Structure formats: structure tokens, C-alpha cells
């Protein structure tokens, strides 16, 4: 049996989106209840995967090390609470600099990569994002996309009847 998953956008869903870019760990502020909600999904048997556009890399606003430091911090907080994120996948491209790519949402390449890598079932999976491009990327990959309000944190499974 294939595994179900919850895909999550990062900025504005897991951490506060300041409106431009989260450039460093100092600017990374978890939203209240985000970790507890992610654990609730994990406890219901969902693998967790973060899918995030990080165009600030292409613009030279921060480095890959900055992004990795944020993701290691996030994973450490998750592990301390008794769960883990399978992977944080990110697109480093900006359309104005690198042109169009398949990994930048609304492209679905990163979602498709995770579906294949972890044997995830698109029919049992969903993605939460705070921008229409998150939902569009999910639907292109054959999974349900849910548009949630920016900076309010992910929806709990029971809010969706799960």
C-alpha cells in the first residue's frame, strides 16, 4: 500500500511570511501551533514534505547554506516533538533571472519527485499553501490542494474531517 502525505508550503504556512523573503534563521519565526498541527498529521500516518520556492537564492539575497540552516532548525524542532519531515524540497530559481523552470511552483516537479522518491499516493495526499500557485502545483501532480490564509498556520486534520 502506498503512503499518504501532507505537502506544505513553508513561508506563510509553517513560519511567518514577512512579505518579501525569509533570508536567515534570525528571520525564521514558526507560526503558533504549526509544529503541533504537523505532528497531528504525522500521528495520523501522513508523511510530511515541505515544498517551497526560494527565488531569493537566484537574486543573491541569501545563500543555500542559509536555506539549509533554516531547514535543519525546523527538522530539529520537529524531531524534538517526536516526528520528522521527510524532506524539504526547494526551487532556487527566479523567472526573471533563470527563466521558467519545472520546479518553481506552480510547476509540479518537486511534488512529483517526492511522490516517486517516497512511494506516496497522490489520491491520499494533499497540499496546503497560502498562494494559488501552491494549489495549482498540487493539482498538476494529481493531489488535492488547499488554499489557506497566509500566516495562520496549517489546518488540523480534524478540521477537514480526517
Catalytic positions: 9, 11
With residue 88 as reference, give the H or E element that holds it: strand 87-91
Separation between Cα atoms, residue 65 and residue 91, nearest integer Å:
14
> Can you give the C-alpha Rg of the chain in angstroms?
15
The single-letter DSSP state of residue 60 is: T
Buried b (16+ CB within 10 A) or exposed e, 83-121: bebbbbbbbbbbeeeeeeeebbbbbbbbbbbbbeeeebe
Amino acid at each position: 500500500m502506498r503512503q499518504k502525505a501532507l505537502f506544505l508550503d513553508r513561508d506563510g504556512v509553517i513560519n511567518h511570511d514577512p512579505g518579501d523573503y525569509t533570508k536567515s534563521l534570525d528571520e525564521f519565526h514558526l507560526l503558533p501551533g504549526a509544529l503541533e498541527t504537523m505532528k497531528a498529521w504525522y500521528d495520523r500516518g501522513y508523511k510530511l514534505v515541505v515544498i517551497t520556492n526560494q527565488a531569493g537564492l537566484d537574486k543573491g539575497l541569501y545563500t543555500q547554506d542559509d536555506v539549509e540552516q533554516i531547514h535543519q532548525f525546523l527538522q530539529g524542532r520537529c524531531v524534538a516533538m517526536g516526528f520528522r519531515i521527510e524532506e524539504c524540497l526547494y526551487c532556487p530559481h527566479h523567472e526573471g533571472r533563470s527563466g521558467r523552470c519545472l520546479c518553481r511552483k506552480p510547476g509540479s516537479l518537486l511534488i512529483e519527485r517526492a511522490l516517486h522518491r517516497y512511494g506516496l499516493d497522490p489520491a491520499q495526499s494533499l497540499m496546503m499553501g497560502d498562494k494559488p500557485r501552491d494549489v495549482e502545483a498540487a493539482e498538476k501532480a494529481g493531489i488535492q490542494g488547499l488554499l489557506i490564509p497566509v500566516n495562520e498556520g496549517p489546518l488540523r486534520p480534524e478540521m477537514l474531517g480526517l
